[in-house]
Amino acid sequence: MKLSANFWDFVVALAIGAIGTARLNAMFPGPWWFVVGIAMPLVFAALCAGIATGSFIAFYVVPFLSQNNVL
């Protein structure tokens, strides 16, 4: 079973978020860092997924459709 690149982007983003969260908590104790630590990796993963999807459409789907006279 091959996992998609988006999945690994998400895993890396969560790892970065976890490390960043631990460092923030050490510097500024409080509840808000937990929200930042969870939200930032999700935003990062969404951006990675969006970039991957956009580049796939731009470089594979559009040329394929234009070759077949769809566009």
In this predicted structure, what is the pLDDT of residue 1? 45
Domain count for the chain: 1
- Rounded to two decimals, the pTM is 0.34
Average pLDDT over residues 48-70: 75
The 3-state secondary structure of the chain reads CCCCHHHHHHHHHHHHHHHHHHHHHHHCCCCHHHHHHHHHHHHHHHHHHHHHHHHHHHHHHHHHHHHCCCC
Mean pLDDT of the chain: 72
What domain range is 40 assigned to?
5-67
